[in-house]
Amino acid sequence: MTTTSIPFTKQLQKFQSLIALALLCIVLSLLTDKFFTTANGINVLRQVAVNVCIATGMTLIVLTGGIDLSVGSVLALCGAITAGLFKNGIAVPAADLWIGFTILGAILAALIAGAILGWINGFVITKFKVPPFVATLAMLTIARGFTMLYTGGHPVSNLGENFAVIGAGSFIGIPVPVWIAAMVVLLAAFICSKTRLGRYIYAIGGNETAAKLSGIRINRVKITVYTIGAALAAVGGVIVTSRLDSAQPNAGTSYELDAIAAVVIGGTSLNGGRGSVWGTVIGAVIIGILNNGLVLLNVSPFWQQVVKGAVILLAVVIDKIGDKKD
C-alpha cells in the first residue's frame, strides 16, 4: 500500500501570500507603534477597497491569459462621468433641454461607460487578434484623453455630502468602500467557483486550444471578462471620486500596476489557468499595508516607488519559478 504526500514546498507555495502578509505585519509593528491601531486599520481598509475592486476584475482577465493596462484610465474617465453628470447633467442647447441625473443615475451611466470600454478591449483582442498588452495600452491612452476632454483638464468638485457617503461613509463601523469591495469579491468568487463562465475562464487559461476543441466560445468568454474588468474599474472610479469629493483628471495613474501586483502576489499565474479571487484579496491587502507602512515610516515617495517595483518584480519571478516547477 502506497500513500502520496504533497511536498512541503508545494504546501508552502499555497500559503506564501498569507505568510508574506503575516511577516509584513510583524515587521511593521516592530518598526512603528502607529501601525497596529484601529484608526490606521480602518484607513488601510478604505484605501485597499479600491484596489480590491480593480484587482478582482483583473484576476478574471489574467486567469484567461490576458492583461488589462487600461483600468487606471477607465477609472478616471468613469469617475469624471459620474461627477460631471451628477453635478452638471447634460445640456442639449438645440432642443433647449437639460437632463439632470440622480446619484444612482450618474453611477449607472459610469458603470455602463466602463463596461462599453471593456467590451471594446475584448472585441479588439478577439476579433483582430491584437495582443492584450497592445490593445489595452491603446485604451489607456484613449480613455485618459477622453477624461481630459470631458473635464477640460480641471477637477469636478463639490459633489455634496450624500455622494461623499459612498467613499467616506461607514456602516456599523466599517467603511462603505469595504462593503462594496466585499460584495464585488463574493460575486466574483461565486462566478469562478459555481458557474459555467468560471469553469470556462479556467479552461481557457489552462489550455485555450483544448477549450476551443471542447466547444467553449473563447471570444465570448474573453469579451465578457474584459467587460467585467472595466466595469469594476468604474466602480473603483466612483469610490475614489466620492472619497476625494472631486473627479481628478489624473486619477488612477499607475493603479493598473497595483492591481496586477495584487493579482500576482495573490498567486494567480500570468500565464492563466491558475489562481483565485481570494488570493488576489490577500495580495491587495499586502500592497495596501506596504504602502501604508512606508508612509508611516516616512520613506521618501521616490523610494516607495522603488520598493513597490521591486516587490512586483519579485512576485513575477516567484510566479515564473512556480510555473517551471509545475
Is 313 among the domain residues? no
Is 7 among the domain residues? no
Is 285 among the domain residues? no
SS3 content of the chain, % helix, strand, coil (to 5): 75, 5, 20
Torsion angle defined by CA atoms of residues 297, 300, 303 and 308, in that order, rounded to the nearest 10 degrees: 60
The predicted model gives 102-112 an average pLDDT of 98
Q: What is the pTM of this model?
A: 0.94
Is 186 among the domain residues? yes
Q: Kindly report, residue by residue over 241-279, the tens digit of the pLDDT.
A: 999 999 999 999 999 999 999 999 999 999 999 999 999
pLDDT, position 43: 92
Partners of residue 91 on adjacent β-strands? 98
Is 276 among the domain residues? no
Cell of 224: 465578457
Is 65 among the domain residues? yes
Is 304 among the domain residues? no
The DSSP annotation for 10-48 comes to HHHHHTHHHHHHHHHHHHHHHH-TTSSSHHHHHHHHHHH
CA distance 142 to 207: 32
Q: Which domain does 178 fall in, by range?
A: 36-252
How many domains does the chain divide into? 1
Is 224 among the domain residues? yes
Handedness of CA 239, 240, 241, 244 (dihedral sign): positive
Q: Kindly report, residue by residue over 9-45, the tens digit of the pLDDT.
A: 666 667 788 888 999 999 999 999 999 999 999 999 9
pLDDT, position 52: 98
Share of the chain above pLDDT 90, in %: 85
